[in-house]
Structure 1
Amino acid sequence: MRTPTDDRAPVPADEAVDLMDPRVLNDPFGTFARIREQAPLVRGRYPWGDPFWMVTRYVDVKAVLSDPDLVNNPRNVPGMDLPHLFAQGLDEADFPQRYARYLLDSVLFQDGQDHARLRKVSGRAFTARRVAQLRPTMAAMVEGLIRALPGRARNGAVDLLEHFAYPISIGTICEIVGVPEAEREQWRVWSSAFYTMDRALLEPAVGGMADRLHTMIEQRRAEPTGDLLTGLVQAEGDDGERLTDVEIVALVLAFITAGNEATAQLIGNGVAALLTHPEQLALLRSERELLPGAVHEIMRWCGPVQITQPRFATRDLRVGGMPVRKGEQVMAVIGAAGYDPAVFPAPERFDITRTPQLRRDTHVGFGFGPHYCLGAALALQEAEVAIDALLHHFPGLALAVAPSDLERQLFPGAWRLSALPLRL
């Protein structure tokens, strides 16, 4: 399928790595491996905004993700008026401010008490117990999609992403939020727009979801139900303060966009990895109890998210023994950390038996520290249920194209398939 390459020259020490460079987008693993060998910190950049430090070594990545002196919101750097990289991107695209607030006020960009408050009121929907209760509903949804798959085939092949992975992921998160079933295809289209970097698609997507959520919030106030949206409307902080409507909308947008895209791509990447490693696929078919550990290995080896959002230094500090000045941005490259040979022997090898404790993730594919992914347990369960059903129903499952012909969506910091054509 792919392994990191090492036949290119190292990144010059005085040159920032352009994360939009097609060579980087097509081979992030090889690029990050060379960076990791070169230095603890290497400069990176986008076409917009200031350069930033990239951290690629496992120990340093975990340290960055758990350091309270590195914050997600530049406004929390004392005594400095720093631009926000994401805000700069929205400004560059002339994105309307009335919708930008739902993106910039996301829980992903909060720190300290503000972050803890939002995470506490929303995290109740994603506890291991609540997620386990969803398993029968999830399994029924998967079985329905499995039955429909043969009828989706064109010229003997079916796109597993379009007709299986995405319907599972959007269906599950919409079920949790409380989005009516008849509307979920529209929400899937809206969510996918977040990864196009196309304002013509993103603006109506954010606007459509935000406007619809405001209507649904009013409906939940009038007629409460048992869904996440009702819980957010009724939630009170320790001081009795309720969430604002803008905060609720921003939270739900973060849940749906992250929950849909990342989980669908986790399923797609995982199936592709198994089909291109027949000995691992055969082992999993014969020992289905390895499935939880296999999903963790998928997250390490080909996780859909490669880079976290930037953290801003609130004071002068050191990362990996190198200086980071107050106000500078640091990005944790979680995809590179998963390939650090100091932690994962022979990291290029895809090995579903690598994780000895099936439910313990030694990788950092879901992040680490205070911002550890709220939906990690949900994503793992979705992938387990989906892959288990595919193996059970389709013993002859195979790629419909050569592995080298699988197309990727060239999006910075991500490892995402455009399609996954399979023969059932």
Structure 2
Amino acid sequence: MTSHSDTTDTAPATAGSCPVRLTPELVEDPVGAYAGFRTRSELPEVVLPGLQTPARLVTRYAEVKAALTEPRLVRDRSRVPGGADGADPQAELLEAALGGFPAEYARYVAGHLALLDGPEHARLRTPLTRAFTARRIAALRSFVERTAEDLLRGLAARGEADLLGEFAYPLATVVVCELVGVEEDDRDRVCAWIHDFAYGDGSRTVDGLVGIVDYTKELIARRRAAPTEDLVSALIGAGHDGGEPLTEDELVSVVFLLISTGITPPALFLAHAVLALFDHPEQLAALRADPALLGRAVPELLRHVSLVRIGASMYATEDFEFAGTALKKGETVTVALLAANHDAEEYGETADRLDITREFGRGDGHLAFGHGAHYCLGAALGRLVTSVVLDQVLVRRPGTDLAVGRDALEFGHWPGDGFHLLRLPVRF
């Protein structure tokens, strides 16, 4: 872990100055270094926590949004004409995440849509977009409500529980299993594999990976023979509607995409959103007094928390100027989504405050789900689950509160990112 002393200088950069080494504390602080970065005439060059390779960091809302739709910034480094020289921060992150996995299984996790561009990205994303219909997501509401209530009933009977480990993670896991189409008789063992792979103690990560891959291949074979109403059946059926069918390997990779992006990030967001309301008791009181504010509270919490603080690496395909900076071909650029979502140029003088009465304009009103071609496929599901959880945990159970002092909460972090809760003890 990088020390605080590595990044005390946030003054404007000068020619030839060293990259700023960001700590996890600074990455997750919506003011901190970002406020200084936004005043610079050029994009700052930074090294993200736990990494060694510098990248240009975009922090202003308008420029983050522009970067996410800039065709000369690509996610797939191999698409840089003539190749890109030097180290690659994205490769560092993948090595940290996949280094201990058997190659024949790691490829399913590495084939991430977030790292693809252009026609290949569109080919894989299109059937998934078609399968993520509004009807399919809306149909999940009653399942999410039932599952959340069942989990909470048992936890509340005990009087105290870890809202992250004993509620948010299990809820997100079961919702993904339901969406994918994991059959009821298989659910316990598949959920156990997902736990081991996605958020266990690390001792059985490879076993979880192998179990999920082998089961997903079995499920694909079953759905080819007898389709149902689940997502896997819809993805298989996409090839029958004039589109290019996904291969078995691509279907397995899609399931891992759903597990990787649909469990840990949403579960952590739910815990951090609840904590944000605990940290702002006047906002929590307002929500409990007027549950109709949920419609505004959900997007405001997405903006304020911005669980994914730093976006995927992008690479310049040519020399060009962006955000006042002369980028060189192959140079790495990344976006600070948390910084953008707290930019006073976009949100005014209340940018750094949590305000569940905040009114947004058209669209999301924030960049927590990204923007452009890589906009989060699960955004609608994320909003649905967040609304259900806030209602059931905080509104219907008005006595829910932290079970420990704020300074007793435990946090961890991953390379390239800020701090995340390890557990959230609450009493009911």
Call closer, same or farther: CA 1:84–1:317 in 2, change over 3 Å: same
Match among 67, 79, 90 for residue 76 of structure 1: 79
Instruction: Quote the residue 1:3 is aligned against.
Output: none
Instruction: Quote the residue 2:4 is aligned against.
Output: none
Once the two structures are superposed, residues 145-194 of structure 1 have per-residue CA deviations (whole angstroms, 9 ceiling, x without a partner) of 121112344xxx31111222112211111110112322343144144349
Match among 182, 185, 191 for residue 185 of structure 1: 191
- What is the correspondence of 1:195-210 to structure 2 with a 5 Å cutoff? 202-210=205-213
Q: 5+ residue gaps in structure 1?
A: 1-6
Instruction: Quote the residue 2:271 is aligned against.
Output: 268
Partner AA of 2:32 in structure 1: G
Instruction: Quote the residue 1:42 is aligned against.
Output: 44
* Partner SS, residue 15 of structure 1: coil
* Partner SS, residue 345 of structure 2: coil
Partner AA of 1:177 in structure 2: V
Match among 394, 397, 404 for residue 394 of structure 1: 397
- Give the stretch that moved more between structures: 34-43 or 256-265: 34-43
- Please tell me whether the aligned partners of residues 77 and 312 of structure 1 are also in contact (alpha carbons under 8 angstroms): yes
How many Å separate the matches in 2 of 1:111 and 1:423?
A: 46
Once the two structures are superposed, residues 373-403 of structure 1 have per-residue CA deviations (whole angstroms, 9 ceiling, x without a partner) of 0000100110001111123431111111222
Match among 84, 103, 112 for residue 109 of structure 2: 103
- What is the correspondence of 1:7-406 to structure 2 with a 5 Å cutoff? 8-10=8-10, 13=13, 14-19=17-22, 21-24=23-26, 27=29, 29-46=31-48, 47-48=50-51, 50-81=53-84, 85-91=89-95, 93=99, 95-153=101-159, 157-180=160-183, 181-193=187-199, 202-236=205-239, 240-345=243-348, 346-356=350-360, 360-406=363-409
* Partner SS, residue 343 of structure 1: helix
How many Å separate the matches in 1 of 2:207 and 2:217?
A: 15
Call closer, same or farther: CA 1:135–1:40 in 2, change over 3 Å: farther
- Give the stretch that moved more between structures: 37-46 or 312-321: 37-46
Instruction: Quote the residue 1:4 is aligned against.
Output: none
How many Å separate the matches in 1 of 2:45 and 2:241?
A: 41
* Partner SS, residue 100 of structure 1: helix
How many Å separate the matches in 2 of 1:128 and 1:291?
A: 20
- The TM-score with structure 1 as length reference comes to 0.88
Q: What percent of counterpart residues are identical?
A: 38
Call closer, same or farther: CA 1:355–1:41 in 2, change over 3 Å: same
Call closer, same or farther: CA 1:39–1:205 in 2, change over 3 Å: farther
Partner AA of 2:359 in structure 1: T
- Aligned residue pairs total 410
Call closer, same or farther: CA 1:91–1:413 in 2, change over 3 Å: closer
- Please tell me whether the aligned partners of residues 40 and 320 of structure 1 are also in contact (alpha carbons under 8 angstroms): yes
- Please tell me whether the aligned partners of residues 194 and 208 of structure 2 are also in contact (alpha carbons under 8 angstroms): no
Call closer, same or farther: CA 1:52–1:305 in 2, change over 3 Å: same
How many Å separate the matches in 2 of 1:49 and 1:216?
A: 41
CA drift at 1:27: 4.2
CA drift at 1:297: 1.0
CA drift at 1:72: 0.9
Call closer, same or farther: CA 1:18–1:398 in 2, change over 3 Å: same
Partner AA of 1:337 in structure 2: A
- Please tell me whether the aligned partners of residues 177 and 191 of structure 2 are also in contact (alpha carbons under 8 angstroms): no
How many Å separate the matches in 2 of 1:169 and 1:376?
A: 14
Instruction: Quote the residue 2:417 is aligned against.
Output: 413
Call closer, same or farther: CA 1:130–1:238 in 2, change over 3 Å: closer
How many Å separate the matches in 2 of 1:116 and 1:206?
A: 26
CA drift at 1:288: 1.4
- Please tell me whether the aligned partners of residues 412 and 419 of structure 2 are also in contact (alpha carbons under 8 angstroms): yes
Partner AA of 1:37 in structure 2: T
How many Å separate the matches in 2 of 1:28 and 1:349?
A: 10
- Please tell me whether the aligned partners of residues 269 and 303 of structure 1 are also in contact (alpha carbons under 8 angstroms): no
How many Å separate the matches in 2 of 1:29 and 1:45?
A: 18
Once the two structures are superposed, residues 288-310 of structure 1 have per-residue CA deviations (whole angstroms, 9 ceiling, x without a partner) of 12112111111111121101110
Partner AA of 1:87 in structure 2: A
Once the two structures are superposed, residues 101-147 of structure 1 have per-residue CA deviations (whole angstroms, 9 ceiling, x without a partner) of 22332211111111112111011332333211211111111111121
- Give the stretch that moved more between structures: 28-37 or 98-107: 28-37
Partner AA of 2:251 in structure 1: I
Q: 5+ residue gaps in structure 2?
A: 1-6
Partner AA of 2:312 in structure 1: Q
Call closer, same or farther: CA 1:167–1:246 in 2, change over 3 Å: same
Cα RMSD of the aligned pairs, angstroms, is 2.6
* Partner SS, residue 268 of structure 2: helix
- Please tell me whether the aligned partners of residues 198 and 259 of structure 2 are also in contact (alpha carbons under 8 angstroms): no
- Please tell me whether the aligned partners of residues 178 and 228 of structure 1 are also in contact (alpha carbons under 8 angstroms): yes
Call closer, same or farther: CA 1:185–1:50 in 2, change over 3 Å: same
Partner AA of 2:45 in structure 1: R
Call closer, same or farther: CA 1:208–1:318 in 2, change over 3 Å: farther
Call closer, same or farther: CA 1:123–1:333 in 2, change over 3 Å: same
- Give the stretch that moved more between structures: 335-344 or 43-52: 43-52
- Please tell me whether the aligned partners of residues 173 and 256 of structure 1 are also in contact (alpha carbons under 8 angstroms): yes
- The TM-score with structure 2 as length reference comes to 0.88
Call closer, same or farther: CA 1:129–1:187 in 2, change over 3 Å: same
